[in-house]
Amino acid sequence: MGRGEERRGEEWRGEERRGEERRGGVGRRERANMSKIDKMSILGVRSFGIEDKDKQLISFFTPLTVLVGPNGAGKTTIIECLKYATSGELPPGSKGGAFVHDPKDAHETDVRAQIRLLFSDVNGEKVTIQRAMSCTQKAKNYSFKSLEQVITRTKDGEKQSMSSKCADVDREMISALGVSKSVLNNVIFCHQEESNWPLCEGKALKEKFDSIFAATKYIKALETMRQQRLAQNHTVKECEVELHYLKQNKEKAQQLRETMDTKEAHLMASKDSVEKIESQIDPLENRLIDIDTKFGKVMKLDNDIKALESRKTQMEEDNKELKDTMEQVFQGPDEQLQETYQNHQRTVKEKERRLTDCQKELERAGRECQRLNQLKGALLVEQGRLQLEADRHTQNIRNRDTQVRSLASFLEMEGYDRPPFTTLQLESFHRHVTQRLEQEKETASQVLADLQEKEQQKQQSIDEMRDKKTGLERTVELKRDLQGKKQQELRNIRAELQRLEGSSTRLQVLENELAKAERELQSSMQSSNVEELKVEVVELQREKAELDRTQRRLDTEMETLNIHTSTRTQMDMLKKEKTEKEDQVRKIKSRHSEDLVSLLGHFPNKKELEDWIYTKSKEINSTRDRLAKMNKDLASSEQNKSHIASELRKKEQQLSSDEEKFFNVCGSQDLEQDLGKLQDDLEKISKQRAMLAGATAVYTQFISQLTEEKEPCCPVCQRTFPSEPDLEEVISDMQSKLRLVPDKLKNTEQDLKRKERKKDEMMSLRPVRQSIVQFQEKELPELRNRLQTVNREIERLKGEVDEQETLLGTLMSEEETAKACLQDISLMDRYQIDLKGVERQITQHGTKLQGVDLTRTTQQVSQEKQETQHRLDTTSSKMELKRKLIQDQQDQIQMQKSAVNETKADKLQLSSDMQKQQQLEEQCVEFTTDIKDLTRDIREAKEQLSPLSAALEKLQQEKQELVERKRQKQEEGQEKINAIKERVKVITTLERDITKYVDESKNEYKEQKESELQETNTQLHDAEKQKEKISKEIGNIRQDIDTQKVQERWLQDNLTFEEACGGVEGCCGQT
C-alpha cells in the first residue's frame, strides 16, 4: 500500500511539473508577442465634457507612461476608462450612472459618453475598440444604458468592423490583448478602492488567485486525466473479461464448424438418393397424365349427350307453347312462307324509309322554326333596348333645355327662356357663360385684393405698436433685475457690517487666549520625559529577546518528547485497528455467505464475483434490448392503430358530411336525373324570359300602330275592326298586359338565377358523389380490415412483453443481490490489504522505539515553558505601556502647538476685517441712492405701458374683423363660381349623350330592326304551316306501319314454329 501511494505521488508531481512547463512556455510566447496600448480618446466620462471640442486624446509611451497630477485631476478616471475599454467592467459603486458626465451639469436630459482605444494586439496588428454609453435623467434617479460596442481591425489596408450584435466583444478583447479578464481587473487596471484585495478573507482571496493563475482549469484538467485513466483501466478489465468469453465462443464455433461439415456430407448423400427416386417417378407421372386425358374426353361426351337430350325436351315444350299461341298455322310449303315474309319485309322497310325521311323533314322544319323564334326573340329584345335608348335621348334633350333655361335665369341672361334651342343658341350660351364665369372670378379676386391690402396695413400698425410695447417691457424688466441685484448686495454689505461691529472686543479676547496657550505649551515641553521613556523601552526589548530565545529552546525540547510519545500512541492505535479490521472481514463473510453460495455455488473473491455480474449484465442488457424492441413495436402498433382509427373516424365524418350535403342540395341520390329535370326547367324559363323581353317592344309598337293610323287593322292578321269599341277593347287589353310584363319579367329572371345557382351547386356535387362511392366501396372497408389486423398484432406483442418483463425482473433481482454483495466483497479485499499495511507499520514503529532514553517528562518541560511565557507577556505589557506614554506626551504637545497657530490666524483675520469696515459703509450709501433712482424709472415706464396695451388690443380686433370679412367674401365668390361650373358640367354631359346618339344613327338602326322583325314573323308563319303538314303525313305512315307489324308477327311465329320442328329432328339425329 505504501509503494502504491508513493507511485501515485510521483505521478501527481510529474503532472504538476509538466503543467508548470506548459505555463512557462505560454508565458515565454506571450512575452515574445506582447500587446501594447497606443492611444485613447475620452468624451462625456465623469468631468470630461460632452461636446466634440471637449474630447481628450491621450497617447501612451513605451515601455512606461506616468500619470502625474493633484487630487481631482482625472488620473483615476483614465485608469477606469482603460479598464472599461479593455474588459467592459464599470468602476465599483458607480452602477454606470456616476461614471457618465452628470446630465445636470451639462443641462441635458440625456448624455452620451464614448471611449475609443487604439492598441496593437498579440499579432502586432492595429485594433480599435469603441464603447458607447448613455445616462438619462429621470424624475428621481438616473438611467444608465450601454450602447453599441464596435471592434475595428486593419488588414491589408482595409478596415473590418465587428459589432457587439454579432460577437462577444469582451471575449474578443481578451483574445487580442493576450491577458485574462481577471488579470486586467485585479492586477493591471485595479481600481484604487479595490487595491486592498490581497488583505481580504481566505476564501475570497483564494478565488482571486485561482482566477488570476487559472488554477481551477489546471485542477480540472488533472481531474479529467485521472478520470480518463480510471475509465481506461476499467475498460481494460472489461475487455479482459470479454476476451475470456470470446475465446470460449471461438472454441465453440470451431466445434460447430466441424459439426456443420459432417451434416453437409450427410446432406449430399441424401440429395443423390432423392435424384435417383425422382428419375423413377417421371415415367409414372407421364402415364398418369395420359389416363387423365382419356378420362376427361369420356366425361365430356357424356355431358354433351345429356345437354342434347335436355335441349330436345325444352324445344318440344317451346313448340307446343308456340302452336297454342298461334291463331292460324300457315298452310303451304316453307318456300312460299319464306317468300311471303320477305315481300312483307320489303313493304315495311319502304314505309319505314318514308317515315325516316318525313321525320328528318320535320326536324329541319322544327330547327327552322326554333331558329326563327330565337331570331324573333333577339329582335324583340333589341327593339326594346333601342326604344329605351330613344326615350332616354328625348329625356336628355328636355333635361338639357331645362338646365340651360335655369342657368340663364340664374345668371340673368336674356334670350334663353323658350326651348327647344338650336345649335347656334347653345354655342352662344356656352360662350356667354364662359365670359360671365371669368367676370365673376375677376370680381372676387379684386375684392380679396382690397381686403388683403387693408389687412397688411393693420398688421403693420400692430407690429409697430407691439415693438414699442416690448421695448418698454424689456426696460422695466432689466431695471427690475438691476434693482434686485443692488438690494441683494446692500443686504450682504449690511450683514457684513453687523458682523464687524464686535471685532475690536473679539480681537482683545484672542490676544489673551494666545498668551495663555503659549504659556501652557512652554510648561508642557519643560515637564516632558520622552527621552527617559525611550531608554527604558530599549532595555525592555533586550529582555524580551532573551526570553524569546529561551521559549524557542523549550519548544524544540517539547517537540522531541512529543515525537516519541506519538510513536507509542500510534503503535497502540495500529494494534487496535488490526483487531477491528479482522472483525470486519469475519462479519462480511458471515453476512453474504448464504446468498453468494446459492448464486455461484461457492464463496467467490472479487474478480469471480465481477465476472459473474458481467455475464448477468450482458444477459440483462440483451433481455432489455429485446423488451425495448418489443415495446417499440408495440408503441408503433398502438400509434398505427390510433392513426388508422383517427383516419377511419375522419373518413366516416367526411362521408356523413358529404351525404348530408348531397341530400340537402338534391333531395335524392339520383344526381343525373335531377340535373336533367333542372336543365329542362332552365330552357323553359329562358324561352319565357326572351318572350317577355320582346313583349314590351311588340305591345308598344302594336298600341302605337292602332292609335296613330287612321284606319287601324289587327297587327297580326291584318283584319280591320268592325267597330270603335272593339278597337278600344283590344288597345285596353294590350295596355293591361304591357303593365304586367315588367313584373313577370323580373320574377322570371329571379327564378332563372335561382335555378342556375342550384344547377351550379348540383354540378359541384359530382366530385362529392364520386367521393361517397369511393368511401363506401373501397376506403372504409380497407381501413376496418387494417384496424383488425393491427389489434391482433397488439395482443400478440403484449403477451410477449409480459413474458420478457417477468424474465427481466428475475435476472435483475439476482444481479442486485450480487451487486449488493460486491461492495462488501471489495471492502473485504481492501480490509485484507490494509491489514498487511498495518502489520508492516507496527514492525517499523517497534524499530524506532528501540534504544530511546527519556530523561525529562513532558509535564516538566510544559511547566517551565509556561513560566517563561508569563515573563515574556509581562515584559511585552511594560514595553507597550512605555510606548503609549511617549505617544500621549507627543500628541499633547502637538495639539497645543496647533491651538497657538489657529489663534494667531484668527487674530490676523480680524485685523484685516476692521480695515474693510469704512469701505463697506460707503458702498451701502451708494447702493441706497441707486435703488431709489431705479424705482422711479420703473414706475414711469409702467405708466407709459397702459395706453399702449389698449391701443394694441383695439388694432388686433380690427384686423380680426377684416380677416373674417375677407374669408366670407372668398367663400361667397367661390360658392357662386362652383355652382356655375357644376351646372355647366351637367349641361355638357347631357349634350355629349345627345351628340353620341345622333352620331351613331340609332334612330335609323331602330327602324331597320322593326322591318327585320316583321319579315321574321312572316317566315315563321310559313315554317309552322309546313311543319303541320309534315306531322299529318307522319301520322298516316305510322298507322300503316302498325297494321303491317301485326301481319309480320304472325309470319314470324310460323317461321319460328317450322325452325323448332327442324331442331327437334336434328337433336334426335345427334343422339
Binding residues: 714, 717
- The C-alpha atoms of residue 471 and residue 475 are separated, in whole angstroms, by 6
Residue 193 grid coordinates: 478602492
* Helix 215-325 with 606-666: angle, nearest 10 deg: 40
Residue 434 grid coordinates: 364662359
Residue 678 grid coordinates: 333542372
Question: Residue holding cell 482566477?
Answer: 211
- The C-alpha atoms of residue 1066 and residue 1044 are separated, in whole angstroms, by 33
First to last CA, the chain: 118
Angle at 286 between CA 283 and CA 290, to 5 degrees: 140
Tell me how far CA of residue 1063 lies from CA of 319, 660, 932, 1055, 1067, in angstroms.
Answer: 10, 59, 163, 12, 6
DSSP secondary structure letter of residue 95: T
Tell me how far CA of residue 147 lies from CA of 89, 127, 493, 516, in angstroms.
Answer: 14, 20, 52, 66
Annotated binding-site members for Zn(2+): 714, 717
Question: Which residues are paired to 986 by β-bridges?
Answer: none
- The C-alpha atoms of residue 976 and residue 437 are separated, in whole angstroms, by 9
Sheet holding 158-163, edge to edge: 56-59, 36-43, 110-120, 126-137, 142-155, 158-163
Question: In this structure, what are the phi and psi dihedrals at residue 37, rounded to the nearest 5 degrees?
Answer: -90, 130
- The C-alpha atoms of residue 84 and residue 114 are separated, in whole angstroms, by 11
Question: In this structure, what are the phi and psi dihedrals at residue 504, rounded to the nearest 5 degrees?
Answer: -65, -40
* Helix 606-666 with 780-849: angle, nearest 10 deg: 160
3-state SS of 383-427? Answer: HHHHHHHHHHHHHHHHHHHHHHHHHHHHCCCCCCCCCCCCHHHHH
Collect all residues with Cβ–Cβ distance below 8 Å to 458 and sequence separation of at least 6. Answer: 955, 958, 959, 962
Q: CB of 98 within 8 A of CB of 129?
A: no
Length, in residues, of the chain: 1071
Residue 989 grid coordinates: 354631359
Q: CB of 496 within 8 A of CB of 919?
A: no
Question: Which residues are paired to 150 by β-bridges?
Answer: 130, 163
Q: CB of 150 within 8 A of CB of 163?
A: yes
